Amino acid sequence: MRSNGSLLEARVLTAFYGDFQALFDVDFRIERNETVAIIGSNGAGKSTLLKSITGLVRTKAEAIYFDGEAIGGKPAYRIVEQGISMVPEGRCLFPSLSVEENLAIGAYSKRQGPWNLEAVYEVFPMLKEKRIVPATALSGGQQQMVAIGRALMANPRLLLCDEISLGLAPVIIKEIYAQLERISAEGTTLVIVEQDIKRAMAVSDHVYCIREGRVVLEGRPRDLGREEITKAYFGM
Amino acid sequence: MNQAVRIERSTRASHFFVSFGLLLLFLLITAPFYLGRSELYLLVEIFSYLALASLWNLLAGYTGLASIGQQGFVGLGGYSLFALTIFFRMPPILAVLAAGIGAALLAVPTAWVIFRLKGAYFAIGTWVVAEVYRLVFAQVSALGAGSGTSLPTQVVYSIAPTRVLRDNLIYWTGLGLVVAVLALIYLLLRSRWGLALTAIRDSEAAAESVGVDNDRTKFLVYFFTAGATGSVGALISLQKLRISPEAAFSVNDWTAFVIFIVVIGGIGQMEGPLIGTIVFFLLRGFLADFGPWYFMLLGAFAIIITLTMPKGIAGWLAEKFDLDLFPLRRRVRLPKQKSDKNPSKTPKDGPRINYRAIRRL
Amino acid sequence: MDLVATVIDGILLGGLYALFASGLSLIFGVMRLVNIAHGDLIVLAAFIAMIVIDHFGVHPLVSLVLVVPFMALLGYGLQRGIFNRALDSDILRPVLVSFGVSVFLQNALLQAFSADSRRLQAGNLETLHFDLPGGVAVGVLPCLMFMVALVVIGGLQLLLYRTELGRAFRSVSDDQQTAQLMGINHAHLFGLAMALSLAIVSVAGVFLGIRGNFDPSIGPTRMIFACEAIIIGGLGDLWGTLVGGVILGIAQTLGARINPGYQILAGHLVFLAILTLRPQGFFAKIR
């Protein structure tokens, strides 16, 4: 059993898109400083879970606790102020803004912390050369770095990464994950949503598998067998 | 034993409505025999607004073409009628139809230009074009230029020799026009075109992907509504026996009021303009003496209803009582199954099947 | 020379139209709303200025000290109270709501001030002029309006591209959802944008009132001029809007030269012609 001083806790979390129910009674816990992976196939509800945490999808107040405080139902901009930041699926960079402007807007919530432009450029040096270029003119991998940097600029205590390896070459993915490890080492708690099971298992301390809106498996990667995971993932 | 799932359009309410409608139609046809002059005049006004509102509803509510320039076609229809009867000695009642054709023809170049605009800018583009028509006709001295002109006496007499007969003929033309407009709209919506319109309104991209020619469909609807609006405009000016650019192209009379009617009655439903016209004329009866307050009330109403009851009164009725007067929606009648006997046993947190929503498809 | 004078008048008139248009363009850029009541708000500003002038006996331009904050607050309230609820849905709702606001406002003004024509007395400003070589006289007022238009548009560009608020406006315009993830309260930001728009509208309204007669019914036509300037110039580019305003202004003054009754019609026809030949305008940034 895990202790109750978790950083983030979801209890009996349900979420709807109109009449369509996307999450059913999800229970979910993230401890400080750990890296949690959420795996599942397309449409399983992984992104919905992240959106519920960040406030883009409405939930009940008691459904989500962050550091002991009920944050469910709060609007997204308030949740950023609390210290939860997300790298959205598909990156969602602002096309009208340059690379540096995208990073700068990440700091809009004015949260204090170690992350600023210089710190981000240190982790992703190739962005510094391209700082005045429109963000969407960059390659996929570089855009992903901008998206991560932008999320870091909010000095989050909890960083959510939604499918950051999608569409990227393995070499780039490897580099990005190396930087993520570094970020995690500096004290940020990470949640990684991935379709790439192997990658997710390799970097995380705890894994949740979601299928059709329900948590069907959870545990430490080294305790979970390959067959077990495959069964849960595909529902066989 | 599984009964097949049936798809139906009519409901008990729509059957009742049709019978009621036929009775009403009979009463209206015979109205000149028991109603006086001013009542007939008012009825023609009501018919005109009902027609204009139904047409605007088709254009904006069903096709998604938010026009605030339909007054352009109202004025075009009016001026065409005056021109045709004065310069070409056309019989006025026939001219009502011809004026509609004229308006439809002018819709072609109009559409060609303003369809380049999208969204709200399209709306403003329609207004600009209407203004152009107004400003142009204000320069035509043969039709009275800025102050307008009255219908010459010999043209008036050519409608019919006596005043009573004239009033009746204009009345029946109005009745015929509104019935024709409503019937055509209904048939259009019931046909394949109607499905295409709903598809376009919901998602243009999706509609194109199933083979709907968006541009052509939109243009045809615009063309048709322009022509019908023109005919109504011709009738309106004929009844007034007078025309002027201000009156014929009035944004207030032919767009603001019409929009108000459709918004209050319910956009995107055929019942909307019907309900809205009734409400409008009731309000007008009670409040028109209050001048600007009346308009302010209409404006405020339109805002509040758009924000709080976006489907208007008709929409509210449809949701509350599942009421459908015009048999347009296709309803899925699910077969009765034994397991349906205890619907309360559905788990609370499970997916909720909204049968009403399914029926609404 | 007469032709030169007409063209110069047209260019300077374009400055006024650009002033009308820049507030509208800002709003459209940030939240894709075309405020049909925009022209009526310009007229409202003129009437408010009139009240301030009557009450305090100041020069119209001085009255801006009170008119601008008032209109800005009104704009914030209008956006958060009414327009914010109409956005985020189909295109019909914002059109209907702003049309309703337009009708309401026009008639409220009519009720409060009657249909009489008014004018804001600006003393010397109305008649002072520069005498250019060749016998061409150029009014000080039109020049001032043009300069103010330049300053306003320049200021808006600075705001949009050099400040954090401007960055926030641009990001919210790109992607509302993701902007929220940055900590941006878009409801509040939209309110600020409308407040800024109406601050500009105040200036436009005062100039409108000084330059000529105004009454509650002239709002819609000014809104149409603003839209024409924006569309000719190209959506999303503020300097383009200035160019669009100038083109419209010249079209109108040339038309007026042929026949005063043709002024507005000439503007509309040139607008429609440009729309036909180059629908995206000259400097479009938004498609």
Q: Is residue B345 scored above 50 in pLDDT? A: no
Model ipTM?
0.90
Confidence tier at C183 by pLDDT (50, 70, 90): very high
**pLDDT value for C103:** 94
**Average pLDDT value over all residues in chain C:** 92
User: Which residues 260-279 of C are in CB contact (within 8 Å) with B?
Assistant: 261, 264-265, 268-269, 271-272, 275-276, 279
User: Which residues 145-164 of A are in CB contact (within 8 Å) with C?
Assistant: 150, 154
Q: Is residue C213 scored above 90 in pLDDT? A: yes
Total domains present in chain A:
1
Query: Would you call C213 an interface residue with chain A, using a CB distance cutoff of 8 Å?
Result: no
> What is the Cα–Cα distance from B235 to B191, expressed in whole angstroms?
28
Nearest chain C residue to A83, by CA: C183
Q: Is residue B9 scored above 70 in pLDDT? A: no
Query: How many inter-chain contacts (A to C, CB under 8 Å) are there?
Result: 65
Query: Would you call C22 an interface residue with chain B, using a CB distance cutoff of 8 Å?
Result: no
Residues of chain B contacting residue C103, judged by C-beta atoms under 8 Å apart: 252, 256, 295-296, 298-299, 302
Contact C244, C11 (CB under 8 A): no
- Alpha-carbon distance A24 to nearest alpha carbon in chain B (angstroms): 8
Domains of chain C, start order = 2-277 (1.10.3470)
DSSP chain C: -HHHHHHHHHHHHHHHHHHHHHHHHHHHHHH----TTHHHHHHHHHHHHHHHHHHH---HHHHHHHHHHHHHHHHHHHIIIIIHHHSSS-SHHHHHHHHHHHHHHHHHHHHHH-S--B----GGGGT-EEEETTTEEEEHHHHHHHHHHHHHHHHHHHHHHHSHHHHHHHHHHH-HHHHHHTT--HHHHHHHHHHHHHHHHHHHHHHHHHHS-B-GGGHHHHHHHHHHHHHHH-TT-HHHHHHHHHHHHHHHHHHHHH-GGGHHHHHHHHHHHHHHH-TT-SS----
Residues of chain B contacting residue A25, judged by C-beta atoms under 8 Å apart: 349
Residue A3 lies in a domain: no
Average pLDDT for B326-334 = 63
> What is the Cα–Cα distance from A192 to B184, expressed in whole angstroms?
58
Q: Is residue B348 scored above 50 in pLDDT? A: no
Q: Is residue A208 scored above 80 in pLDDT? A: yes
Average pLDDT for C237-241 = 91
Q: Is residue B197 scored above 60 in pLDDT? A: yes
Average pLDDT for A134-156 = 93
Residues of chain A contacting residue B355, judged by C-beta atoms under 8 Å apart: none
> Is there a contact between B303 and C100 if contact means CB atoms under 8 Å apart?
yes
> At CA C260, angle to CA C256 and CA C264, rounded to 5?
65
When mean pLDDT is compared across A19-23, A47-51, B349-353, C236-240, the lowest value belongs to: B349-353
Among C168, C170, C173, the residue with its CB nearest the CB of A108 is: C168
**pLDDT value for B356:** 43
When mean pLDDT is compared across A58-72, B180-194, B220-234, C259-273, the lowest value belongs to: A58-72
> Is there a contact between B293 and C111 if contact means CB atoms under 8 Å apart?
yes
Residue A1 lies in a domain: no
Query: Which sign does the torsion angle of CA C109, C114, C117, C120 carry?
Result: negative
For an interface test with A, which of B346, B349, B359 has the most A Cβ atoms less than 10 Å from its Cβ?
Answer: B349
When mean pLDDT is compared across A51-55, A56-60, C219-223, the lowest value belongs to: A56-60
> What is the Cα–Cα distance from A106 to C240, expressed in whole angstroms?
30
Question: How do residues B208-238 score in pLDDT, each as one tens digit?
Answer: 777 777 888 889 999 999 999 999 999 999 9
Average pLDDT for A22-31 = 86
Query: Which sign does the torsion angle of CA B72, B74, B77, B82 carry?
Result: negative
Confidence tier at B7 by pLDDT (50, 70, 90): low
Average pLDDT for A53-73 = 85
Residue A208's domain is classified under what CATH number? 3.40.50.300
Confidence tier at B108 by pLDDT (50, 70, 90): very high
Query: Which position has the higher pLDDT, A117 or A24?
Result: A117
> What is the Cα–Cα distance from C220 to B172, expressed in whole angstroms?
37
Nearest to B194, CA basis, from B361, B62, B87? B62
Question: How do residues A164-174 score in pLDDT, each as one tens digit?
Answer: 888 888 898 88
For an interface test with A, which of C169, C172, C182, C186 has the most A Cβ atoms less than 10 Å from its Cβ?
Answer: C182
Residue A29 lies in a domain: yes
Residue B238, both tokens: 């004929």
> What Å distances lie between residue C107 and B291, C100, C115, CA to CA?
9, 11, 10
Average pLDDT for B46-55 = 97
**Average pLDDT value over all residues in chain A:** 87
- Per cent of chain C over pLDDT 70 is 99
Average pLDDT for B294-302 = 91
Q: Residue C50: how many CA atoms within 13 Å on its side-chain side?
A: 21
**pLDDT value for A7:** 82
Average pLDDT for B19-24 = 87
For an interface test with B, which of C31, C36, C38, C99 has the most B Cβ atoms less than 10 Å from its Cβ?
Answer: C99
- Alpha-carbon distance A57 to nearest alpha carbon in chain B (angstroms): 18
Query: Would you call B288 an interface residue with chain C, using a CB distance cutoff of 8 Å?
Result: no
A-contacting chains (≥3 CB pairs under 8 Å)? B, C
Q: Is residue B361 scored above 60 in pLDDT? A: no
Query: How many inter-chain contacts (A to B, CB under 8 Å) are there?
Result: 10
Residue A170 lies in a domain: yes
Contact A98, A83 (CB under 8 A): no
* Domain extent at residue A200: 8-234
| pTM for this prediction | 0.88
Among C168, C179, C183, the residue with its CB nearest the CB of A154 is: C183
Average pLDDT for B111-131 = 92
**pLDDT value for C180:** 93
Residues of chain A contacting residue B352, judged by C-beta atoms under 8 Å apart: 19, 21
- Alpha-carbon distance A109 to nearest alpha carbon in chain B (angstroms): 31
Among C167, C175, C182, the residue with its CB nearest the CB of A80 is: C182
Gap between the terminal Cα atoms of chain B: 26
**pLDDT value for B358:** 40
Among C100, C227, C228, the residue with its CB nearest the CB of B306 is: C100
Question: How do residues A185-194 score in pLDDT, each as one tens digit?
Answer: 888 899 999 8
When mean pLDDT is compared across A91-100, A212-221, B133-142, C277-286, the lowest value belongs to: C277-286
- Per cent of chain A over pLDDT 90 is 37
Residue A2 lies in a domain: no
Nearest to A228, CA basis, from B160, A192, A236? A236
Residue A145 lies in a domain: yes
Confidence tier at C23 by pLDDT (50, 70, 90): very high
**pLDDT value for C249:** 96
Average pLDDT for B304-319 = 87
Question: How do residues B137-194 score in pLDDT, each as one tens digit?
Answer: 999 988 888 899 999 988 888 888 898 999 999 999 999 999 999 999 999 888 877 8
> What is the Cα–Cα distance from A97 to A9, expressed in whole angstroms?
35
> Is there a contact between B349 and A19 if contact means CB atoms under 8 Å apart?
no
**pLDDT value for B192:** 79
- Alpha-carbon distance C278 to nearest alpha carbon in chain B (angstroms): 10
Q: Is residue A175 scored above 70 in pLDDT? A: yes
Residue A213 lies in a domain: yes
- Per cent of chain A over pLDDT 70 is 98
Question: How do residues B68-96 score in pLDDT, each as one tens digit?
Answer: 999 999 999 999 999 999 999 999 999 99
**Average pLDDT value over all residues in chain B:** 85
**pLDDT value for C215:** 95
Average pLDDT for A23-41 = 87
C-contacting chains (≥3 CB pairs under 8 Å)? A, B
Query: Would you call C171 an interface residue with chain A, using a CB distance cutoff of 8 Å?
Result: yes
**pLDDT value for B150:** 92
Nearest chain A residue to C168, by CA: A105
Q: Is residue C62 scored above 80 in pLDDT? A: yes
**pLDDT value for C1:** 63
Residue A171 lies in a domain: yes
